[in-house]
């Protein structure tokens, strides 16, 4: 079986480590952040999560039968992720931001650029580039989500999963998703699709780093 | 004899590297690699790629480099070993092949050190801070291992149900014997430079701040009898062989074990990764070594008895 996953991990490892190396990310995972900054981060995250399924839908609608299994994967994934923006709203409420305030929050240019790129890439670059967005979000959740939510709980004195339900749940949920995504990525054989995914991973890591960096 | 790819020292030094810095001493034909991997001083894929490039350059320019020296530019840390974030990623992705590939890349670096005498290179390493797991494994095949007195080292992998899979068994047994290897690898304990010297894993311990001088002295001591020393070291490899195949077989075993780590094991690994990251932040001196000591203490006292440790919440 071809193993594109190895190539993807290797080709984009520098982008992942640049995210990890950003002073704000680095300090946040190690030492947490203030409640004010955590509120801003969740506010930004709300918009990213809100657009997740529409971007997947846009990509799925453009995927030809050549990649039918990837389209089917996206359908299942969208179903599983459905309503998760509500989890972010719950977390925002737990740290003192009402639903009205949260939904009224205007996303930063960094979030707009991230979301905008993913719509554009699904539409104009290659629909499989959406897998790059999925990979980045799942790496963030499966690798950094657990330590980050643990640090946030410790530093903000949050009990159980209150205030960190989105991050904590995805840290364990995405462990299963990562394995599924690896199988899906390994089905890619066409160079254009693979290159689009690699490009998308690099852009998504870069933009997510900018989102964190600006918080 | 140089290969068709030989490029000369100027070209070797001018390659653009991010995780390492090269220095050349023409007097002793010594190439020094200073490592500085951000944000955590560990063996990331990129850092290993850059090291591999340097080693390839040396091999392709035989006779040019006679001494290879490795040190760390990160205060208080030599190397934390494997890229724990990458391990978590690959384990959660159930990616057997990529884990194995990572292990094999580590083995390739070790193997270069193990066979350096065959290409006329004497190797020296100076450890001035914490070195854990793969970090300690990576120094063991060096011909001369120098530690500054405050440096600490160990194989903590057993604490999260793993084991050091890239040469620890082979090289510890060869240098210090079976009993020492058993004790070090199966206990997960940390050791001082002095303790490692007593069991012969470290060749020389010097006071803090005297490491640079010790490197110079070590190279100058061996330089006049370099050919004989390198021949003797090649003969040593025949007398007490470490085979490439045995290193690969252990990597395979390590890979299988890694995929069997539980969520609890991974969370402990993440805890150590967080501690590693903390050490890099400004003004924070506690890192993975202190965290490992806490884990050892938790274990010694029993999780349920204390009930107040982070370990209990895992």
List, for residues B159-190, the tens digit of each pLDDT value.
999 999 999 999 999 999 999 999 999 999 99
Q: Is A24 on the interface with B (CB under 8 A)?
A: no
Which range marks the domain in which residue B143 is found?
A: 9-259
B177 with B274, same domain: the answer is: no
> Looking at residues B283-295, what average pLDDT do you find?
63
pLDDT (0 to 100) of residue A81: 85
User: Do B214 and B294 fall within a single domain?
Assistant: no
Give the closest-approach CA distance of A66 to chain B in angstroms: 25
Within a domain: residue B45? yes
pLDDT band of A158, cuts 50, 70, 90: confident
B189 within a domain of the structure (yes/no):
yes
**What is the ipTM, given to two decimal places?**
0.83
Best A1, A178, A209 residue to mutate vs chain B (most B CBs within 10 Å): A178
Residue B228 and residue B142 share a domain: yes
Mutate to test the interface with B, among A7, A9, A135, A151 (most CBs of B within 10 A): A9
B124 SS3 class: strand
How many whole angstroms separate alpha carbon B243 and alpha carbon A37? 53
Question: Within this chain, do residues B40 and B147 fall inside the same structural domain, yes or no?
Answer: yes
Q: Which of A147-156, B54-63, B75-84 has the lowest mean pLDDT?
A: A147-156
Name which of A11-15, A172-176, B31-35, B55-59 the model is least confident about: A172-176
B167/B277 same-domain check: no
In a domain, B163, yes or no: yes
Say yes or no to pLDDT of B276 above 50: yes
d(CA B173, CA B143): 15
CATH of domain A4-214: 1.20.910.10
- Using alpha carbons, select from B164, B161, B160, B200 the residue that is nearest to residue B185: B164
The residues that bridge with B122 in the sheet, in sequence order, are B67
Does residue B2 belong to any structural domain of this protein? no
B98 with A142: Cβ contact below 8 A: no
Residue A56 has pLDDT above 70, yes or no: yes
Identify the closest residue of chain A to B42 by CA–CA distance. Answer: A17
Phi-psi bin for B92: left (phi > 0), alpha (psi -120 to 50), beta?
A: alpha
**Which chain A residue's Cα is nearest to B96?**
A6
Write the residue in A3, A17, A30 that is nearest to B46 by C-beta. A17
Q: Identify the residue among B42, B88, B93 best suited for mutation to test binding to A, counting A beta carbons within 10 A and taking the highest.
A: B93
Split at pLDDT 50, 70, 90, the class of A16 is very high
Paired sense of beta strands B77-79 and B67-72, if any: unpaired
More confident of the two residues B282 and A86: A86
Domain identity same for B219 and B290: no
Number of inter-chain CB pairs under 8 A, A vs B: 84
Per cent of chain B over pLDDT 70 is 85
Residue with tokens 């440096």: B151
* One domain for residues B55 and B78: yes
Q: Are strands B204-206 and B144-148 parallel, antiparallel or unpaired?
A: parallel
Min CA distance, B87 vs chain A (Å)?
9
B267 and B252, same domain (yes or no): no
- Please report whether residue B4 resides in a domain: no
> What are the residues of chain B with a beta carbon less than 8 Å away from any beta carbon of chain A?
38-40, 44-46, 85-86, 88-90, 92-95, 97-98, 101, 263, 267, 270-271, 273-274, 277-278, 280-281, 284
Average pLDDT rounded to a whole number, residues B241-264: 95
Residue range B10-25: mean pLDDT, rounded: 94
Q: Give B1's contacts (C-beta < 8 A, 6+ positions apart).
A: B62
pLDDT band at B277 (very low <50, low <70, confident <90, very high): low
Say what the pLDDT of residue B31 is.
Answer: 98
Q: Which residues of B touch A172 (CB under 8 A)?
A: 263
pLDDT classification of B309: cutoffs 50, 70, 90: very low
pLDDT at A96 over 50: yes
Please state, in angstroms and rounded to a whole number, the distance separating the CA atoms of residues B63 and B1. Answer: 8
Residues of B in contact with A5 (CB under 8 A): 93, 95, 97-98
How many angstroms away from the CA of A55 is the closest CA of chain B? 23
In a domain, B303, yes or no: yes
- Write down the H helix ranges in chain A: 4-11, 13-21, 23-31, 35-62, 68-81, 84-94, 99-104, 109-120, 130-139, 146-156, 165-185, 191-214
Same domain assignment for residues B174 and B270: no
Q: Closest by alpha carbon to B261, among B127, B129, B150, B163?
A: B163
* Gap between the Cα atoms of A185 and B83, Å rounded: 23
CB count within 10 Å of CB B5 equals: 10
**List of chain B residues whose C-beta atoms are within 8 Å of the C-beta of residue A21:** 38-39
Whether residues B244 and B291 fall in one domain: no
B278 contact residues in A (CB cutoff 8 A): 30-31
């Amino acid at each position: 079986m071809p193993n594109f996953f190895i190539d993807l991990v290797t080709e984009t490892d520098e982008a992942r480590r640049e995210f990890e190396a950003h002073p704000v990310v680095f300090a946040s995972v190690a030492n947490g952040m203030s409640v004010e900054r955590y509120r801003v981060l969740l506010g930004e995250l709300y918009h990213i999560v809100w657009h997740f399924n529409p971007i997947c839908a846009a990509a799925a609608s453009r995927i030809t039968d050549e990649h039918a299994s990837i389209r089917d994967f996206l359908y299942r994934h969208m179903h599983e992720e459905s309503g998760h923006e509500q989890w972010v709203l719950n977390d925002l409420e737990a740290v003192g931001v009402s639903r009205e305030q949260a939904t009224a929050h205007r996303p930063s240019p960094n979030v707009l650029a991230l979301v905008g790129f993913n719509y554009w890439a699904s539409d104009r670059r290659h629909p499989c580039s959406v897998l790059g967005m999925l990979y980045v979000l799942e790496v963030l959740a499966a690798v950094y989500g657990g330590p980050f939510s643990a640090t946030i709980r410790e530093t903000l004195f949050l009990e159980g999963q209150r205030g960190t339900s989105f991050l904590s749940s995805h840290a364990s949920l995405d462990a299963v998703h990562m394995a599924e995504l690896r199988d899906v990525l390994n089905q890619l054989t066409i160079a254009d699709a693979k290159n689009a995914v690699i490009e998308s991973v690099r852009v998504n890591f870069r933009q997510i780093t900018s989102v964190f960096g600006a918080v | 004899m140089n290969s068709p790819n030989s490029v000369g020292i100027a070209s070797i030094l001018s390659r653009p590297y991010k995780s390492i810095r090269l220095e050349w001493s023409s007097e002793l034909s010594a190439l020094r690699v200073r490592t500085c991997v951000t944000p955590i001083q560990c063996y990331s894929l990129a850092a290993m790629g850059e090291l591999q490039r340097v080693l390839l350059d040396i091999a392709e320019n035989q006779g040019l480099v006679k001494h290879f020296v490795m040190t760390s530019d990160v205060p208080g840390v030599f190397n934390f070993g494997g890229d724990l974030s990458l391990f978590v990623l690959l384990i959660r992705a159930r990616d057997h092949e990529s884990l194995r590939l990572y292990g094999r890349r580590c083995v390739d670096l070790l193997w270069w050190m193990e066979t350096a005498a065959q290409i006329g290179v004497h190797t020296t390493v100076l450890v001035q801070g914490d070195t854990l797991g793969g970090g300690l494994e990576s120094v063991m095949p060096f011909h001369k291992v120098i530690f500054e007195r405050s440096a600490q080292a160990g194989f903590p992998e057993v604490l999260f149900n793993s084991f050091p899979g890239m040469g620890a068994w082979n090289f510890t047994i060869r240098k210090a014997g079976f009993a020492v290897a058993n004790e070090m690898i199966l206990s997960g304990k940390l050791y001082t430079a002095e303790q490692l010297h007593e069991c012969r894993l470290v060749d020389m311990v010097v006071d803090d701040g005297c490491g640079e001088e010790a490197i110079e002295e070590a190279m100058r001591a061996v330089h006049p009898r370099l050919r004989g020393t390198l021949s003797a070291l090649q003969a040593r490899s025949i007398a007490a062989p470490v085979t490439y195949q045995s290193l690969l077989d252990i990597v395979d075993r390590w890979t299988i074990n890694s995929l069997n780590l539980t969520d609890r094991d991974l969370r402990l690994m993440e805890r150590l990764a967080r501690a590693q990251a903390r050490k890099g932040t400004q003004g924070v001196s506690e890192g993975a070594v202190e965290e490992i000591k806490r884990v050892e203490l938790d274990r010694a006292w029993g999780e349920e008895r204390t009930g107040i440790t982070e370990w209990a919440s895992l």
